[in-house]
Structure 1
Amino acid sequence: MTINISRRKLLAGAGIGAGAIAVGASATLLNDGIPAEPSSILRIDALPSDDPTPGWFHTSRVRTPRPPLIGDAKAPWVVIGGGFTGLAAARQLALNFPQDLVILVEAQQVGFGTSGRNAGFLIDVPHDISAPDYIGDQKIARNILDLNKTGQGILRDLVEQHNIVDAQLRHSGKYQAAVEDSGIAVLEAYRGGLEKLGQPCHIIEGKDLPDILGTSFYRKALYTPGTMLVQPSALVKGLADSLPENVHLYEDTAITAVDYSGKETVLHHASGTITAGKLILANNAFGTHFGFLERRILPMFTYGSLTRPLTAAEQASIGGHEFWGVIPADPFGTTLRRTHDNRILVRNSFTFNEDGRHKPGATEKFRKNHRLSFERRFPTLSQVPFEYTWGGGLGMTRNGNSFFGELRPNVYGALGCNGLGTVRGTATGTLLADWLAGKSHPLTEFLLSVPKPNYNPPDPFLTIGVNFTLRKGQNAAGLEA
Structure 2
Amino acid sequence: MTRVTTLPADDAACGWYHTSAPRRAKESHSGEKKTRWAVIGAGFTGLAAARQLALNFPDEEVVLIEAQEVGFGTSGRNAGFAIDLPHDIGAKDYIGDINIAQSTLKLNLLGQSILRSLVEQHGIDCQMHACGKYQGAIEDRGVAVLDAYRSGLDKLGQPYEVIEGKDLPDHIGTSFYRKALFTPGTILIQPSALVKGLADSLPSNVTLYENTPITDFEYGDKVVLGHRNGRITADKLVLANNAFGMRFGFLQRTMLPMFLYASLTRPLTAAEQAQLGGKPFWGVIPADPFGSTVRRTPDNRILMRNSFSFNPNQQPKLHCLERFVRNHRLSFERRFPMLPDVDFEYTWSGSLALSQNHKGFFGQLAPNVYGVLCCNGLGVTRGTVTGTLLADWIAGQRNEQIDFLLDTSGPNKVPPEPFLSIGVNATLWWGQMKAGKEM
**TM-score, normalization: structure 2?**
0.99
1:172 aligns with 2:131: yes
Matched residues in 2 for 1:114 and 1:355: separation?
A: 15
CA distance in 2, matches of 1:340, 1:457: 43
1:256/1:269 contact within 8 Å kept: yes
1:47 and 2:7 aligned: yes
Q: Which of 470, 475, 481 in structure 1 is aligned with 2:428?
A: 470
1:310 matched to 2:268: yes
Matching residue of 1:147:
107
Partner of 2:198: 239
CA displacement at 1:360 relative to structure 2: 2.1
Aligned to 2:210: 251
Structure 1: runs of 5+ lacking an equivalent: 1-40
Partner of 2:282: 324
Q: 1:156 aligns with which of 111, 116, 121?
A: 116
- Contact 2:372–2:387, Cα closer than 8 Å, also in 1: yes
Aligned residue number for residue 317 of structure 2: 359
CA shift, 1:42, in A, is 1.3
Residues 121-145 of structure 1 show CA distances to partners (whole Å, capped at 9, x for unaligned) of 0000000111010000000001110
Contact 2:118/2:198 (<8 A) preserved: yes
- Specify the code of the residue in structure 2 equivalent to 1:365: R
* Structure 2 counterpart of 1:187, from 140, 146, 149: 146
Amino acid at match of 2:334: R
- Aligned-pair distance for 1:327? 0.1
Write the deviation string for residues 400-445 of structure 1: whole angstroms up to 9, x where unpaired: 1110000000100000010001000000000000001011121110
Do the aligned residues in 2 keep the contact of 1:106 with 1:251 (CA within 8 Å)?
A: yes
Identify the residue that residue 457 of structure 1 maps to in structure 2. Answer: 415
Instruction: Report the equivalent of 1:288.
Output: 246
Instruction: Give the distance between the partners of 1:242 and 1:474, measured in 2 at CA.
Output: 40
Letter in 2 for 1:460: P
Q: Is the 8 A contact 1:191 1:202 kept in 2?
A: no
Secondary structure of the structure 2 residue equivalent to 1:381: coil
* Aligned position for 1:128: 88
CA distance in 2: counterparts of 1:452 and 1:84, whole angstroms: 19
Amino acid at match of 2:75: S
Q: Which residue identity lines up with residue 66 of structure 2 in the other structure?
A: E
* Among 395, 398, 409, the residue aligned to 1:440: 398
Is residue 2:79 matched to residue 1:119?
A: yes
Unmatched segments (≥5 aa) in structure 2: none
Distance 1:412 1:124 in 2: 26
Alignment of 1:50-65 (within 5 A): 50-65=10-25
- Write the letter of the residue equivalent to 2:248: F
Task: Give 1:406's aligned residue.
Answer: 364
User: Which residue of structure 2 lines up, in the alignment, with residue 90 of structure 1?
Assistant: 50
User: What is the alpha-carbon distance in structure 2 between the residues aligned to residue 76 and residue 318 of structure 1?
Assistant: 54
Equivalent residue for 2:66?
106
Contact 2:212 2:227 in 1 (8 A): yes
The residue identity in structure 2 corresponding to 1:368 is: R
Tell me how far apart the structure 1 counterparts of residues 319 and 202 of structure 2 sit (CA, whole Å). 36
CA distance in 2, matches of 1:426, 1:143: 16
Aligned length: 439
- Cα distance in 2 for residues equivalent to 1:55 and 1:286: 23
- Structure 2 counterpart of 1:205, which letter? E
Residue type at the aligned position of 2:192: S
Distance 2:120 2:154 in 1: 31
Is the Cα contact below 8 Å between 2:133 and 2:184 reproduced in 1? yes
Letter in 2 for 1:464: I
1:221 aligns with 2:174: no
Deviation, 1:112, is 0.2
CA-to-aligned-CA distance 1:271-292 (integer Å, 9 cap, x gap): 1110010000000000000000
**1:208 and 2:163 aligned:** no
Alignment partners' CA distance in 2, 1:100 and 1:325: 41
Report if the CA contact (8 A) 2:358-2:411 is conserved: yes
Post-superposition Cα deviations, 1:163-185, rounded to whole Å, max 9, x if no partner, equal 00x21110010000000000001
- The separation in 1 between residues aligned to 2:76 and 2:340, in whole angstroms, is 27
- Over the matched positions of the two proteins, sequence identity in percent amounts to 65
Q: For 1:167-225, what per-residue CA distance to the aligned partner results, in whole angstroms no more than 9, with x for missing partners? A: 11100100000000000010011011011111111211111000111000000000000
Q: Secondary structure at the match of 1:452?
A: coil
Amino acid at match of 1:331: P
Amino acid at match of 1:60: S
Q: Which has the higher contact order (CA 8 A, sep 6+)?
A: 1
**Cα distance in 2 between the residues matched to 1:452 and 1:213:** 38
SS of structure 1 residue aligned to 2:342: coil
CA shift for structure 1 position 362: 2.0
| AA at the equivalent of 1:270 | R
**Bigger shift: 220-229 or 445-454?**
445-454
Distance 1:360 1:175 in 2: 31
> What SS does the corresponding residue of 2:318 show, helix, strand or coil?
coil
* Structure 1 runs, 4 residues or longer, greater than 3 Å off: none
Measured in 1, the distance between the counterparts of 2:325 and 2:339 equals: 16
**2:345 equivalent to 1:384:** no
Equivalent-residue separation in structure 2 for 1:325 and 1:452 (angstroms): 30
Deviations 1:40-77 (A, max 9, x none): x2110000010000000000000000010011111110
By how many angstroms is 1:365 displaced?
Answer: 1.0
Is the contact between residue 294 and residue 304 of structure 2 (CA under 8 Å) also seen in structure 1? yes
SS at 2:120 equivalent: helix
Kept in 2, the 8 Å contact 1:303–1:390? The answer is yes
Q: Give how far 1:361 is off.
A: 2.2
